[in-house]
Amino acid sequence: MKATIAVLPGDGIGPEVTSQAVAVLEKVAGLSGHSFSFNEAMMGGIAIDMMGDSAPPETIRTCEQSDAILLGAVGGPKWSDPTASVRPEQGLLRVRKHFDLFANLRPVKSYPALAHHAPLRPDLLEGVDMLFVRELTGGIYFGPRQEQGDGDSAYDTELYSVPEVSRVAHVAFRAAQGRRKKLASVDKANVMASMRLWRRSVMQVHEDYQDVELEHVLVDACAMYLMTRPASFDVLLAGNMFGDILSDEASVLAGSLGMLPSASLGSGTFGLYEPIHGSAPDIAGQGKANPTATILSAALLLRYSLGLEAEARMVERAVEVALESGARTADIVRRGESYISTTEFTQTVLGALSA
Ligand code: IPM
Ligand code: MN
């Protein structure tokens, strides 16, 4: 098949990790007889520096002309002045909103090869395999706000409507049906009106999915359960902000934030694929970044936007094989242990792909 992929490397380690994922996609294309073309565009802080806009119209157009977007990361200290009027993160939020990518899928699993690296007891990590479905275009990220305030106060508003919650709930229930048929919906219904609406909407959608077991978990308790009984979760459904926070927490289960991919989808096959980690300016340009999250995001791109399930699995398996063979980037070794560079790690994955 032929596909066009927009590549938005972004800031910090973004360019280092997207180039590795592109190398993997090129390898897959060669092995499976597909033809992928990659169109690079500017996004984030670098786009602010070059064109004064974190997601310039040219970038949006490049994305519109593509089947999917592969993104690195945006942001960095250079652009984090709290009084700045343009921020790298705004561009990313605008792209998510522009393409109505309301469902953010974040799979989290523990890798046996890394179980001894994670700070949790290995027995707690056994069988950890969950999927976060994070609502991505609503909630407090997009609610009414006073951006600068009057200098003395500022506010953001958590606002959800029944249709907004329902559509992402459908995605979560359908995902659960294809997995272990369990859904945990995360909310704060004991305190927030928006979260009582959330719970009511999810219960309503549940009527269409009676084969899925639904539990409602308060977000604070959920934060604890992720550490005390992570293997009990199958699909977790959360609003924009709770999903953001809990998925970073859950990355501890996978061994590192550098391991977690994500897919942001709307109602069609078009999607945005990005690692859940940030631009990590502290390690940028040192070859220390773990490309796994972006490589696994490319696997999700193959699966969800291009419908290439076998190729997606091939990439996921190659990452596992690389880890099993002992390949480790800096973030997944203990202090003092040796590690290989970003590109060396990718070479190991490419080797596993051809084998
Ligand atoms: C993420 C990131 C973004 C978010 C930032 C960079 C806007 O943390 O994708 O998880 O909060 O959604
Ligand atoms: Mn985040």
CATH number at residue 276: 3.40.718.10
Residues 338 and 305 in one domain: yes
Question: Exposure string (b/e) for 21-59, b if CB count within 10 Å is 16 or more?
Answer: bbbbbebbbeeeebebeebbbbbbbbbbeeeebbbbeeb
β-strands 68-73, 35-40 pairing: unpaired
Residues 9 and 39 in one domain: yes
pLDDT at 117: 82
Domain extent, residue 331, equals 1-105+258-355
Best of 90, 244, 262, 276 for a ligand 1 pocket test (most atoms within 8 Å of beta carbon): 244
C-alpha distances in Å from residue 219, one per residue of 78, 169, 244: 33, 17, 12
Which one of 215, 231, 254 terminates a domain? 254
Which one of 254, 272, 296 terminates a domain? 254
Residues 275 and 309 in one domain: yes
Residues 95 and 184 in one domain: no
Tell me if 72 is assigned to some domain: yes
Tell me the two tokens of residue 306. Answer: 């291009």
CA 275 / ligand 1 centre spacing (Å): 10
Active site residues: 141, 188, 220, 244, 248
- Ligand 1, atom 1: nearest CA belongs to which residue? 276
Residues of the chain with pLDDT under 70: 148-150
CA 330 / ligand 1 centre spacing (Å): 23
- Ligand 1, atom 11: nearest CA belongs to which residue? 244
Which one of 226, 254, 282 terminates a domain? 254
Rounded to the nearest 10°, the torsion over CA 162, 166, 169, 174 is 170
How many CA atoms are closer than 13 Å to the CA of 208, on its beta-carbon side? 13
Best of 89, 94, 294, 300 for a ligand 1 pocket test (most atoms within 8 Å of beta carbon): 89
Residues 247 and 123 in one domain: yes
Q: Which atom from ligand 1 is nearest to the alpha carbon of 244?
A: 10
With a Cβ cut-off of 6 Å, ligand 1 is lined by: 75, 89, 92-93, 244, 276
- Ligand 1, atom 9: nearest CA belongs to which residue? 276
Tell me the two tokens of residue 264. Answer: 């942001």
Measured between alpha carbons, how far is 163 from 205 in angstroms, rounded to an integer? 10
Measured between alpha carbons, how far is 272 from 7 in angstroms, rounded to an integer? 10
**Do the Cβ atoms of 29 and 47 come closer than 8 Å?**
no
Tell me if 27 is assigned to some domain: yes
Residues 128 and 241 in one domain: yes
- Ligand 1, atom 6: nearest CA belongs to which residue? 89
Residue 118, phi then psi, degrees to nearest 5: -65, 145
Locate all alpha helices (DSSP H) within 207-291, ordered by sequence.
Answer: 219-228, 240-254
Residues 219 and 127 in one domain: yes
Please give the angle made by the CA atoms of 79, 258 and 86, to the nearest 5 degrees: 15
Tell me if 113 is assigned to some domain: no
Please give the angle made by the CA atoms of 248, 250 and 255, to the nearest 5 degrees: 95
Tell me if 112 is assigned to some domain: no
Residues 6 and 99 in one domain: yes
**Do the Cβ atoms of 248 and 257 come closer than 8 Å?**
yes
pLDDT at 217: 98
- Ligand 1, atom 5: nearest CA belongs to which residue? 89
279 closest CA partner among 71, 52, 102: 71
CA 260 / ligand 1 centre spacing (Å): 13
- Ligand 1, atom 7: nearest CA belongs to which residue? 89
Q: Which ligand is nearest to the CA of 139?
A: 1
CA 264 / ligand 1 centre spacing (Å): 12
Q: Which atom from ligand 1 is nearest to the alpha carbon of 104?
A: 9
Q: Which atom from ligand 1 is nearest to the alpha carbon of 241?
A: 11
Q: Which atom from ligand 1 is nearest to the alpha carbon of 92?
A: 7
CA 47 / ligand 1 centre spacing (Å): 17
How many CA atoms are closer than 13 Å to the CA of 134, on its beta-carbon side? 25
Residues 150 and 163 in one domain: yes
CA 354 / ligand 2 centre spacing (Å): 33
Global pTM? 0.97
Residues 250 and 262 in one domain: no
pLDDT at 335: 86
pLDDT at 149: 62
Q: How many domains, in total, are found in the chain?
A: 2
Burial of 151 (0-12, 13-18, 19+ CB in 10 A): exposed
Tell me the two tokens of residue 2. Answer: 């032929």
How many CA atoms are closer than 13 Å to the CA of 35, on its beta-carbon side? 1
Measured between alpha carbons, how far is 108 from 258 in angstroms, rounded to an integer? 12
